[in-house]
Homo-oligomer: A and B are copies of this chain.
């Protein structure tokens, strides 16, 4: 069940009903299996015409693929997709399925004289959801990547227990996939998709609301709902620091993608990915622990020019970094809103309860 549709927000206001596909050229597909020992899935984010990309890995326990080529000094400038998936390190195989579908379509980095000799560039990151469906060996494989890719669409992106979020848990609540977008005054669109499988708390215990709710139409839940919620998410959360230390079994992760219509360099995409983690830090507390694999990719499709495109950065008058700053700020806000959206759009599917089922009073229109 999605949130009631809201009127499209004004320019400059983050829209939690927005989608990564609000950035033209980006499509998103999910494949998941839930039930009969399964609870996991794969999300394929495609940029069939290519997108400049960057990444920042800030968790202490990441599982990734093709992230080294994203370093600004390395050869490849554009990627053709990002694969987010369950299955921990095993799930990285799903990226091969995304590649196979793109190769079949002739999409990739050209490596030969013949058309069709291509290598699709598909960086990937995983969440830990092994065994959540009951069977440790049930995890995304090559076929999950193919199916997620084939289902990719440019509209109607779903949130909740889909794709890579199918097996996600968020601080003792049902986790999942969330998204958000914003149109800047310049016309540039920035959007985020987050898979929240966080060990950290996503709820402020003093209010019973998600930590980052600025973009969301939620109201303070009733005292009784709050009591139920606090009971469900015990033990105590920060700032007491007296909770038992996390144990290795609580391997968790928030992974995601921020996309923009701006034309950015790889180095600028790297900075966008990096600052997006500020949104994660605001929405999930703590974040970036030794047991989190927190990773954010940034994609820039290049439709909208920033000021001073010819700048080398050496004699810049500052207009380009100032314009980049608005994208950085939007990226952090969208990523935080996407993390919150993952929590509020999640539904209970047999694992931990969903926030909306524990706290229905937060959703009543005030």
Are B241's CB and A329's CB within 8 A? yes
Known interface pairs A246-B325, A321-B60; A241-B286 also in contact (CB < 8 Å): no
Q: Collect the chain B residues with CB atoms within 8 Å of residue A271's CB.
A: 60, 290
Contact string against B for A residues 324-345, beta-carbon threshold 8 Å, 1 for contact and 0 otherwise? 1110111011000000000000
Residue A35 interfacial (CB < 8 Å): no
Q: Once bound together, how far apart are the Cα atoms of A322 and B291, in whole Å?
A: 8
CB-CB contacts below 8 Å: A162-210 with B: 182, 184-185, 206
Residues on B with beta carbons closer than 8 Å to the beta carbon of A324: 290
Q: How far is the CA of A241 from the CA of B11 in the complex (A)?
A: 8
- For A291, give its contact among B184, B275, B288, B321 (CB under 8 Å): B321
Q: Contacts A182-B241, A281-B281, A282-B281; is A248 near B318 (CB within 8 Å)?
A: yes
Q: Give the number of chain A interface residues (Cβ < 8 Å).
A: 48
Instruction: Please state if A245 and B12 are interface contacts (CB–CB under 8 Å).
Output: no
Across the interface, do A241 and B333 meet the contact criterion of CB distance under 8 Å? Answer: yes
In the complex, A289 has a CB within 8 A of chain B = yes
Which B residues are in CB contact (< 8 Å) with A13? 239-241
Q: A286-B275, A286-B278 are in contact. Are A291 and B325 (CB under 8 A)?
A: yes
Query: Is A113 an interface residue, CB under 8 A from the partner?
Result: no
A118 contacts B by Cβ under 8 Å: no
CB-based contact B241/A184 at 8 Å: yes
A325 contacts across to B, CB distance below 8 A: 245-246, 286, 289-291
A241 touches B321 (CB 8 A): no
A233-247 residues with Cβ-Cβ distance < 8 A to B are 238-242, 245-247
Complex copy number for this chain: 2
Q: Is the CB of B281 within 8 A of A241?
A: no
Fill in one digit per residue for A239-277: 1 if any B CB lies within 8 Å of its CB, else 0. Answer: 111100111100000000000000000000001001101
Q: How far is the CA of A11 from the CA of B241 in the complex (A)?
A: 8
Is A14 in contact with chain B by the CB < 8 A criterion? yes
In this assembly, does A215 line the interface, its C-beta being within 8 Å of a C-beta of chain B? Answer: yes
Are B241 and A326 closer than 8 Å at their CB atoms?
yes
**Does A278 lie within 8 Å of B288, measured CB to CB?**
yes
A200's nearest neighbour on chain B, judged by CB, is B329
Question: Of B60, B185, B238, B278, which is within 8 A of A287 by CB?
Answer: B278
Interface string of A280-315 (1 = CB under 8 A from B): 011001111111000000000000000000000000
Tell me if A110 is interfacial: C-beta within 8 Å of chain B: no
Cα of A11 to Cα of B240 in the assembled complex, Å: 8
Which residues of chain B are near A240, meaning CB under 8 Å?
Answer: 12-13
A220 interfacial contact with B, CB 8 Å: no
Interface string of A58-96 (1 = CB under 8 A from B): 101000000000000000000000000000000000000
Interface residue A2 (Cβ < 8 Å from any Cβ of B) = no
- Whether A214 is near chain B, meaning CB under 8 Å from some CB there, is yes
CA distance A1 to B206 in the complex (A): 30
Taken together as a complex, chains A and B put the C-alpha atoms of A286 and B333 apart, in Å, by 9
User: A135: shortest Cβ distance to chain B, in Å?
Assistant: 24
In the bound complex, how far is the Cα of B61 from the Cα of A271, in angstroms? 12
Which chain B positions have C-beta within 8 A of A349? Answer: none
10 new A-B pairs (CB below 8 Å) besides A247-B322, A285-B332? A13-B241, A14-B239, A185-B241, A206-B214, A248-B318, A271-B290, A282-B282, A286-B325, A286-B332, A289-B328
> Can you list 11 A-B contacts with CB-CB less than 8 angstroms, sorted by A residue number?
A12-B241, A13-B241, A14-B241, A215-B239, A275-B286, A281-B281, A285-B332, A286-B329, A286-B332, A289-B328, A291-B325
